[in-house]
Chains A and B, each alone.
Chain A
Amino acid sequence: MSAESPISAAVDGQAGPPLLELKDVQMMFGGVMALRGVNHRVIAGRINSVIGPNGAGKTTLFNCISGLLKPTEGGVYLDGERIDGLPPHRIAQMGVSRTFQHVALFKHMTVLENVMVGRHPRTRSGFLAAGFRFPGMRREEGLIREEALSHLEFVGMGDLADIPAGSLPLGKQKILEIARALATGPKLVLLDEPAGGLNMKETEELGELIQRVCGKGVTVLLVEHDMNLVMDISHHILVLYFGEPLTEGPPSEVKANPAVIRAYLGESLTDPPAASSK
Chain B
Amino acid sequence: MQKRDWLIFLAVAVFLAIFPFIAARISAISHYIDIMVFAGIFSIVSLGLCMLMGYAGQVSMAQAAFFGIGAYTSGILTSHFHWHPLPAIPIGCLLSAAVAWLVGVPALRLKGHYLAMATLGFGEIVHIVLNQEVEWTGGPSGLVDIPSLKILGVRISSEEAWYYIVWTAALCTLIFCFNVLRSRVGRALRAIHEEETAADAMGVPTARFKLQVFVLSAVLAAIAGSFYTHYVTFLNPGTFDLMWSIRFVLMVMLGGVQSLWGAVLGTVLLTFIGNEWLRVFADFDILVYGAILLLVALFLPDGLVSIFPKGRSASGNV
Total chain B interface residues with beta-carbon distance under 8 A? 30
In the assembled complex, how far is the CB of residue B314 from the closest CB belonging to chain A, in whole angstroms? 4
Contact B198 A100 (CB under 8 A): yes
Task: Give the tally of cross-chain contacts (CB within 8 A).
Answer: 115
In the assembled complex, how far is the CB of residue B198 from the closest CB belonging to chain A, in whole angstroms? 4
Total chain A interface residues with beta-carbon distance under 8 A? 44
Choose among A122, A127, A130 the residue with the greatest number of B CB atoms under 10 Å from its CB: A127
Choose among A107, A110, A120, A181 the residue with the greatest number of B CB atoms under 10 Å from its CB: A120
Contact A117 B316 (CB under 8 A): no
In the assembled complex, how far is the CB of residue A218 from the closest CB belonging to chain B, in whole angstroms? 15
Contact A93 B185 (CB under 8 A): no
B176 within 8 A of A: yes
Q: Which residues of B contact A92 (CB under 8 A)?
A: 200-203
Give Cα A109–Cα B200 distance, bound, in whole angstroms. 16
Q: Which residues of A contact B212 (CB under 8 A)?
A: 126-127
Question: Known contacts A88-B200, A120-B202, A133-B179: does B185 contact A125 (CB below 8 Å)?
Answer: yes
In the assembled complex, how far is the CB of residue B249 from the closest CB belonging to chain A, in whole angstroms? 22
Choose among B314, B315, B316 the residue with the greatest number of A CB atoms under 10 Å from its CB: B314
Give Cα A19–Cα B216 distance, bound, in whole angstroms. 40
Give Cα A89–Cα B212 distance, bound, in whole angstroms. 16
Closest to A137 in B: B183
A174 within 8 A of B: no
Q: Which residues of B contact A132 (CB under 8 A)?
A: 176, 179
Q: Which residues of B contact A130 (CB under 8 A)?
A: 179-180, 183-186
B195 within 8 A of A: yes
Q: Which residues of A contact B204 (CB under 8 A)?
A: 89, 117, 120-121
Q: By DSSP majority rule, is chain B's interface helix, strand, loop, or mixed?
A: helix
Choose among A89, A122, A163, A181 the residue with the greatest number of B CB atoms under 10 Å from its CB: A89
CB within 8 Å of A: which of B187-237?
A: 187-188, 190-191, 194-195, 197-206, 212, 216
Q: Which residues of B contact A113 (CB under 8 A)?
A: 187, 314-315
In the assembled complex, how far is the CB of residue A238 from the closest CB belonging to chain B, in whole angstroms? 21
Closest to B194 in A: A106
In the assembled complex, how far is the CB of residue A235 from the closest CB belonging to chain B, in whole angstroms? 25
Contact B180 A97 (CB under 8 A): no
Q: Which residues of A contact B179 (CB under 8 A)?
A: 130-133
Give Cα A116–Cα B212 distance, bound, in whole angstroms. 21
Closest to B190 in A: A109
Q: Which residues of A contact B206 (CB under 8 A)?
A: 89
Q: State the A residues within 8 Å of B (CB).
A: 66-68, 87-89, 92-93, 97-98, 100, 104-110, 113, 116-123, 125-127, 130-133, 137, 140-141, 144, 162-164, 180-181, 184
Q: State the B residues within 8 Å of A (CB).
A: 176-177, 179-180, 183-188, 190-191, 194-195, 197-206, 212, 216, 313-316
